């Protein structure tokens, strides 16, 4: 008997018919003789709908009350799925995140897991139950409800798999694996049979929405086998593991993009020691993540530099910079929206020169200017204007020989794009 953690996202449990399909899939796994723990997200657009309702009442959303509100979405899912499984003749019990033992840091909206005490989960399994756990949520030591941030159900599933020493963690979604890029944009995207933790972590951090970055971090740290597959069919999925075999001739494994990008430029900054430390130290103290930083040459003792932040953090970052003006007499601050960060990722890039040069050439060939560049051993990222994003992705996908003759499967066997 093997122990599986099975995670189903909001699209997989978006309505009662899909909920029944998930229940059948779980019971099928249990009928094969396996123990099953199921982690689920809120149904469909429930989380977005709750946020919209809250905004109608208060434009300045209080973080604590938002956690109280948003965790109700997963509670609906777990109870309904438990009922659906019981209707198929199987014992099932549902637990909230805190009932399942998730203890988090005292941060609302994007708390990190500090400890998992899964005794109730283990006891329920020993009693022959299929256990359903709410993703995305936990509780502090002093009893405050918290959420793990968007996509946190992936993190819940992987962390729980590690805590109960599951044989594997299966992430079920509306595509049947991890693709070389978004299959909704590139119809002939390549489905990857396997990918390394490091490559997947880069792709997740760079905008690939199929897995949450913290989930991949947990999987890598704990060695949990991670499998991404479709909840709508039984096709083989993609295995995320420590070392993945490199396909002959394929240097780039995937192309990711992030539309949530803004660039802020500080012009005419005194070129003296400690300036960057002061600026980015102040941004860090406000929990603002900075991505790419570019500094230009020095002229007349003054320098210009730019950095990228999440578009949702742009206004807050601008307020922080404006608050520094009395201590840091810069000339001007500007910002840009409608930007995207497009990235190529691949372990094979380390030993293949010219990969970045090809990327720059392809982007320029589409008539697009590159505003910022960031590199590591296995990735190259470029910030560009967003108008021709799809054209650039398709051109890069072809240039790195990632196109296939098959079309990606999205949603179910009958839906092909």
Known binding-site positions for ATP: 7-10, 173-174, 179, 184
8 Å CB contact between 148 and 138: yes
Nearest of 19, 37, 15 to residue 87 by alpha carbon: 19
Q: What angle do CA 246, 247, 253 make, to 5 degrees?
A: 75
User: Distances in Å between the alpha carbon of 176 and those of 296, 359, 361?
Assistant: 44, 28, 32
Annotated binding site for substrate: 47, 74
- Tokens describing residue 277: 């430390």
Phi, psi of 181 (to 5 degrees): -160, -175
* Tokens of residue 130, six digits: 């299929």
Q: How far apart are CA 403 and CA 412, in angstroms?
A: 21
Q: At what angle do helices 16-31 and 63-87 cross, to 10 degrees?
A: 60
Q: Under the phi-then-psi rule, with left for phi > 0, alpha for psi from -120 to 50, and beta for the rest, what region is 164?
A: alpha
Instruction: Quote the CA–CA distance of 44 and 290 in Å, as a whole number.
Output: 31
Please list, in sequence order, all residues whose beta carbon lies within 8 angstroms of the beta carbon of residue 124, skipping any fewer than 6 positions away. 93, 95, 131
Instruction: Report residue 203 as tokens.
Output: 């792709």
Distances (CA, A) of 36 to 91, 97, 241, 306: 11, 16, 21, 49
From the list 402, 355, 409, the residue with the least C-alpha distance to 377 is 355
The answer to whether 121 and 148 are in contact (CB under 8 A) is: no
Binding residues: 7-10, 47, 74, 173-174, 179, 184
- From the centroid of its chain, how far is CA 96? 22
First to last CA, the chain: 38
Name residue, tokens 């993540």: 289
CA–CA separation, 345 and 366 (whole Å)? 20
């Amino acid at each position: 008997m093997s122990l599986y953690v099975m995670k189903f996202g909001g699209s997989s449990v978006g309505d009662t018919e899909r909920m029944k399909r998930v229940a059948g899939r779980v019971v099928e796994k249990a009928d094969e003789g396996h123990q099953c723990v199921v982690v689920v997200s809120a149904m469909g657009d429930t989380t977005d709908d709750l946020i919209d309702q809250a905004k109608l009442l208060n434009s300045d959303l209080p973080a604590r009350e938002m956690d109280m509100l948003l965790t109700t979405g997963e509670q609906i899912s777990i109870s309904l799925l438990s009922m659906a499984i019981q209707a198929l003749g199987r014992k099932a019990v549902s637990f909230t995140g805190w009932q399942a033992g998730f203890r988090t840091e005292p941060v609302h909206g994007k708390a990190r897991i500090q400890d998992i005490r899964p005794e109730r989960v283990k006891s329920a399994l020993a009693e022959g139950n299929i256990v359903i756990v709410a993703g995305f949520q936990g509780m502090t030591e002093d009893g405050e409800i918290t959420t793990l941030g968007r996509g946190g159900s992936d993190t819940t599933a992987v962390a729980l798999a590690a805590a109960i020493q599951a044989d594997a963690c299966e992430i079920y979604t509306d595509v049947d694996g991890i693709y070389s890029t978004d299959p909704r944009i590139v119809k002939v995207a390549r489905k990857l049979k396997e990918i390394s933790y490091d490559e997947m972590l880069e792709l997740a951090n760079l905008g690939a929405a199929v897995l949450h970055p913290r989930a991949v971090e947990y999987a890598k740290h704990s060695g949990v086998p991670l499998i991404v597959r479709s909840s709508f069919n039984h096709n083989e999925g993609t295995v995320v593991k420590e070392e993945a075999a490199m396909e002959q001739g394929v240097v780039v494994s995937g192309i990711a993009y992030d539309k949530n990008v803004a660039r802020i430029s500080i012009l005419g900054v005194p070129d003296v020691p400690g300036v960057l430390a002061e600026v980015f130290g102040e941004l860090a103290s406000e929990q603002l993540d900075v991505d790419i930083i570019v500094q230009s040459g020095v002229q007349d003792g003054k320098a210009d530099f730019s950095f990228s932040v999440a578009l949702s953090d742009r206004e807050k970052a601008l307020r922080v910079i404006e608050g520094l003006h009395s201590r840091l007499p810069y000339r001007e601050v500007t910002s840009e929206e409608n930007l995207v960060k497009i990235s190529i990722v691949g372990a094979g890039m380390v030993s293949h020169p010219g990969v970045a040069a090809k990327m720059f050439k392809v982007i320029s060939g589409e008539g697009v200017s590159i505003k910022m560049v960031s590199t590591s051993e296995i990735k190259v990222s470029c910030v560009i204007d967003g108008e021709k994003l799809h054209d650039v992705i398709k051109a890069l996908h072809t240039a790195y020989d990632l196109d296939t003759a098959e079309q990606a499967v999205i949603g179910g066997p009958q839906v092909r794009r």
